[in-house]
Amino acid sequence: MSEFYSDKDVQREVTELQGKSATAARLFDIRRIIGGLFVVYGVIVTIAGFTASDADIDKAEGVNINLWTGLGMLALGVFFLVWLKLRPVAPPPPDVVAGDEARE
């Protein structure tokens, strides 16, 4: 390392690593996980709402809070799954990857 660790060193090093990076190609889409988890939670909590006892409802100020929260979570989960379905991630354009590889 010279006296100045310069901007150009970092640019070169990081650009090189970015060329070899596997995240863009291999990392899964988080929308699937959020959607899946919230659908599961939504179903569980909604069922708890349908089977709520009077004590549960009294505790929550007369609101069937499990039912409403469950439906809300279900809606969020479905939203993420629909979004994933409608707008899947485009795979990275192959020419960019090839270009980076050639530069190494």
Partner 1 sequence: MHPPTTLAAELRLPTNWLDYTILGIYFVVVLGIGFAARRSVKTSLDFFLSGRSLPAWVTGLAFIAANLGATEILGMAANSAQYGVYTTHWYWIGAIPAMVFLGLVMMPFYYGSKVRSVPEFLLLRFDKAAHLLSSGLFACAAILIAGVNLYALAIVVEALLGWPQWVAIVVAGFFVLAYITLGGLSSAIYNEVLQFFVILAALIPISVLGLKKVGGWDGLSDSLTESRGADFMTSWGGTGIGSDNPLGANWLTIVLGLGFVLSFGYWTTNFAEVQRALSAKNLSAAQRTPLIAAFPKIFIVFLVMIPGLVAAVLVPKIGTAGSDLQYNDAIPYLMEQLLPNGVLGIAVTGLLAAFMAGMAANVSSFNTVFTTDIWAKYVVKGRQDEYYVRFGRLITAIGVLASIGTAFLASSFSNIMSYLQTLFSFFNVPMFVVFIIGMFWRRTSMKSGFWGLLAGTTAAMVNYFVIYKQGIIDIPSDQGANFVSAIAGFVAGAVVMVAVSLFTAPKPAEELQGLVYGTTSPGMAEPPAPGDEAWYRKPALLGWGAVILAAACYIPFSF
Which residues are near partner 1 by CB under 8 A? 1, 4-7, 10-11, 14-15, 17-18, 20-28, 30, 33-34, 37-38, 40-41, 44-45, 48-49, 52, 55-57, 59-61, 63, 65-66, 68-70, 72-73, 76
Shortest approach of partner 1 to residue 67 CB, angstroms? 9
Q: How far is the CB of 40 from partner 1 (least distance, A)?
A: 7
Question: Which of 30, 31, 65 lies closest to 49 in space, CA to CA?
Answer: 65
Spatial CA neighbour of 76 closest among 48, 44, 35, 45:
35
Are the CB atoms for 89 and 29 separated by under 8 Å? yes
Using the minimum distance from each CB to partner 1, give the nearer residue, 25 or 102: 25
**DSSP assigned state of 51:** T
Q: To 10 degrees, the CA torsion angle through 53, 55, 58, 64?
A: -20
- Beta carbon nearer to partner 1, 6 or 82: 6
| In the complex, least distance from residue 98 CB atom to partner 1, rounded to whole angstroms | 17
Please, what is the minimum distance in Å from the beta carbon of residue 99 to partner 1?
13
> For residue 80, what are its two tokens?
């993420």
